């Protein structure tokens, strides 16, 4: 641990000592215009959720850690830290020159205030659960303990101590999540709910909020008090809420935005042909899967049937012919791309499709079904063109391979969620999950017996126990081993059918410099620049 710490410290010092040399050929006007999906619901970092708000909050605020352009966790407002040998106590040393946009120093007390506010029941944060690794956080959220009991304290103005319930190796990666950001106490207390508005919002990141016209744009400008202002090149950032991807594409083509948030998949062929150099596709930490409702027939206690249905799906056809952006067929529960973690795989992952289908037919028969006595099943999904195409393809594959009769049911999002959670009507349902932080636990926890996203109702005490052990394990290697074991259980039991792992896709103008794709798809505007064009 000590060696690791010294190495880390050296890395930190080297990083801080460099004023990056400015790239040549910079445009005179450093303005970046980003498409940003849906309108953000709030810029209060402790109430925010969803990708659009997170994109903007990463520019406005800075956590103890941040991410380098390639996604690696690097020091943010904390310039260095020490981790106790048991992995449960983190001591952060804050930068002396870190300032709020109004010039006030950013202190350890601000972080204490922010973290307490985040878990305070009065804040009613939806994402506060992400702070559960911190000592007493869960009790505070539940109102069983006062916020003062949260395991966070300022040792002095620039030293912050965070105590954890158990060693949590991905904890540093959590600290760039907006739930952990500090907020400026004086302005929160002065303005209450309105503190996150232009002219009132005091932030500690590379940018400050200048304008927010709902459904039109959000304009950020350089925060001259930011500690690393010297290395920030882009002066002004515009975020445009554009939900419709075709609209976004048109505005991109008309030269009104420099980076799209997404790409319309139905126009991907045109894009690949006409804008091949501007299309950026990269693996994205998310999985698209179908779930089985394990509480009712036909899938309750019917592993053979579940396995047969999973084997009969030709995932390659789905990623090549339907989604088409470069998604990867998924044969594991955890999507690939997490540092140091090699996901477990289905035992049939490497079989040719023909062999899979033969085996699927055998299992299907053993489960008591046949061509003359076929399974009748329903796939339920939330209304969307893409989900529909995938459901139709899978229904066709099941029909062809096994003779299964499938009924497709689409529902409006909230109705669909309600039905999925109630587990009364659903048989096979569509689902997806995008990781919040770069660790397999993100995905593994979903299938814990009591987890809020376990709509399959997978209950396996052995799985729960392995994950519990993993969450107490301080040694990263052993921890990954335990999780891999747990993942193998999922792949054996088939409570879900993983189908493909997501990709992030953007169109980026050639004059946007230093864009580096990364697995969480986080791009800080401060790391980019605009070239002459």
Partner 1 sequence: MLRYSLKRLLGAIPTLLILMTLAFFMMRAAPGGPFDTEKSLPAEIQANLDKKYHLDEPLIQQYGRYLWDLAHGDFGPSFQYKDYSVNELIATGFPVSLRLGLSAIAIALVVGVALGTLAALRQNSVTDYSVMTLAMTGISIPNFVLAPILILIFAVYLGWLPAGGWNDGAFRNTLLPIIGLALPQIAYISRLMRGSMIEVLRSNPIRTARAKGLPERVVILRHALKPALLPVVSFLGPATAAVITGSVVIEQIFGIPGLGRYFVQGALNRDYTLVMGVVVFYGALIILFNFIVDLVYAMLDPKVRYA
Q: Which positions lie near partner 1, rule CB under 8 A?
A: 39, 41-44, 47, 49, 121-122, 124-126, 128-129, 141-143, 193-194, 196-197, 213-217, 240-244, 246-247, 250-251, 253-254, 256, 412-415, 417-419, 421, 431-433, 446, 451-453
Cβ closest to partner 1, residue 41 vs residue 370: 41
**CA pair distance 10, 80, nearest whole angstrom:** 10
**Angle (CA) 36 433 292, round 5°:** 145
Cβ closest to partner 1, residue 257 vs residue 530: 257
- The tokens of 59 are what? 């520019």
Q: What is the torsional sign of CA 51, 56, 57, 62?
A: positive
Cβ closest to partner 1, residue 190 vs residue 421: 421
Shortest distance, position 250 Cβ to partner 1, whole Å: 5
Going by C-beta distance under 8 Å and a sequence separation of 6 or more, which residues neighbour residue 53?
40, 41, 42, 43, 178
Give the rounded distance of the alpha carbon of 507 from its chain centre: 20
Shortest distance, position 431 Cβ to partner 1, whole Å: 7
Shortest distance, position 18 Cβ to partner 1, whole Å: 38
Cβ closest to partner 1, residue 238 vs residue 398: 238
Neighbours of 525 (CB within 10 A): 24
Give, for 305, the enclosing helix (H) or strand (E).
Answer: helix 303-311
Cβ closest to partner 1, residue 50 vs residue 297: 50
Shortest distance, position 162 Cβ to partner 1, whole Å: 21
Shortest distance, position 447 Cβ to partner 1, whole Å: 12
Cβ closest to partner 1, residue 348 vs residue 433: 433
- The tokens of 420 are what? 């999925």
Instruction: Provide the strand spans (E) within 217-324.
Output: 217-222, 236-240, 279-292
Q: What is the length of the chain?
A: 533
Going across the sheet that includes 428-434, the strands are 328-329, 496-507, 279-292, 428-434, 376-382, 405-411
Give the rounded distance of the alpha carbon of 364 from its chain centre: 36
- Residue 208 has phi, psi (to 5 degrees) of -120, 155
Shortest distance, position 387 Cβ to partner 1, whole Å: 14
Cβ closest to partner 1, residue 248 vs residue 473: 248
Residue 364's nearest CA partner among 427, 312, 430 is: 312
- The tokens of 206 are what? 């590379």
- The tokens of 267 are what? 């126009």
Shortest distance, position 9 Cβ to partner 1, whole Å: 37
- Residue 455 has phi, psi (to 5 degrees) of -80, -5
Cβ closest to partner 1, residue 23 vs residue 143: 143
**CA pair distance 263, 324, nearest whole angstrom:** 11
**CA pair distance 502, 319, nearest whole angstrom:** 10
Cβ closest to partner 1, residue 192 vs residue 352: 192
Cβ closest to partner 1, residue 25 vs residue 193: 193
Q: What is the torsional sign of CA 389, 390, 396, 400?
A: positive
Residue 130's nearest CA partner among 120, 116, 118, 145 is: 118
**CA pair distance 45, 125, nearest whole angstrom:** 10
Neighbours of 31 (CB within 10 A): 13
Residue 101's nearest CA partner among 237, 178, 210, 236 is: 210
Cα 322 to Cα 265, 358, 501: the distances in Å are 9, 24, 14
Cβ closest to partner 1, residue 353 vs residue 419: 419
Shortest distance, position 251 Cβ to partner 1, whole Å: 5
Cβ closest to partner 1, residue 51 vs residue 154: 51
Shortest distance, position 349 Cβ to partner 1, whole Å: 27
**CA pair distance 214, 162, nearest whole angstrom:** 37
């Amino acid at each position: 641990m000590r060696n690791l710490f010294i190495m880390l410290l050296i890395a930190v010092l080297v990083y801080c000592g460099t004023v990056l040399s400015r790239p040549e050929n910079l445009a005179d006007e450093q303005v970046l215009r980003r498409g940003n999906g849906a309108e953000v619901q709030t810029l209060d970092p402790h109430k925010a959720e969803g990708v659009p708000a997170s994109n903007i909050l990463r520019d406005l605020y800075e956590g103890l850690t941040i991410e380098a352009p390639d996604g690696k966790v690097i020091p943010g407002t904390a310039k260095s830290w020490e981790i106790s040998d048991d992995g449960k106590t983190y001591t952060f040393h804050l930068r002396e020159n870190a300032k709020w946009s109004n010039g006030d120093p950013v202190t350890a007390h601000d972080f204490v205030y922010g973290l307490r506010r985040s878990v305070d029941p009065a804040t009613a944060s939806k994402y506060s659960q992400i702070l559960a690794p911190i000592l007493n956080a869960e009790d505070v959220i539940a109102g069983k303990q006062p916020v003062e009991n949260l395991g966070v304290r300022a040792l002095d103005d620039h030293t912050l101590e965070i105590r954890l319930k158990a060693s949590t190796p991905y904890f540093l990666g959590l600290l760039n999540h907006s739930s952990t950001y500090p907020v400026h106490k004086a302005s929160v207390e002065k303005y209450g709910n309105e503190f996150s508005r232009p002219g009132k919002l005091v932030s500690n990141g590379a940018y400050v909020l200048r304008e927010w016209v709902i459904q039109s744009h959000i304009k950020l400008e350089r925060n001259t008090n930011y500690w690393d202002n010297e290395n920030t090149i882009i002066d002004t950032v515009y975020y445009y809420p554009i939900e419709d991807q075709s609209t976004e594409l048109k505005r991109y083509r008309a030269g009104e935005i420099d980076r799209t948030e997404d790409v319309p998949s139905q126009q991907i062929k045109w894009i690949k042909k006409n804008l091949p150099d501007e299309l950026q596709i990269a693996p994205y930490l998310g999985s698209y899967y179908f779930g089985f409702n394990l509480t009712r027939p036909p899938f309750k206690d019917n592993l053979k049937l579940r396995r047969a249905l999973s084997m009969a799906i030709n995932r390659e056809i789905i990623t090549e012919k339907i989604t088409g952006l470069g998604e990867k067929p998924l044969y594991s529960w955890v999507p690939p791309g997490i540092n140091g973690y090699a996901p477990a795989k289905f035992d049939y992952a490497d079989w040719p499709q023909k062999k899979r289908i033969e085996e699927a037919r055998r299992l299907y028969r053993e489960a008591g079904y046949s061509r003359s006595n076929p399974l009748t099943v329903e796939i339920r999904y939330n209304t969307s063109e893409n989900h529909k195409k995938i459901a139709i393809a899978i229904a066709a594959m099941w029909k062809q391979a096994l003779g299964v009769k499938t009924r497709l049911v689409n529902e409006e999002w909230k109705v669909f969620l309600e039905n999925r959670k109630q587990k009364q009507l659903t048989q096979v349902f569509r689902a997806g999950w995008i990781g919040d932080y770069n660790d397999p636990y993100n995905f593994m926890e979903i299938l814990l017996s009591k987890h809020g996203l376990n709509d399959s109702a997978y209950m396996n005490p052995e799985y729960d126990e392995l994950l519990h052990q993993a969450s107490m394990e301080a040694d990263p290697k052993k921890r990954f081993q335990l999780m891999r074991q747990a993942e193998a259980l999922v792949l054996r039991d088939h409570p879900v059918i993983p189908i493909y792992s997501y990709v992030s896709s953007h169109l980026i103008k050639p004059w946007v410099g230093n864009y580096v794709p990364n697995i969480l798809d986080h791009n800080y505007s401060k790391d980019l620049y605009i070239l002459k064009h």
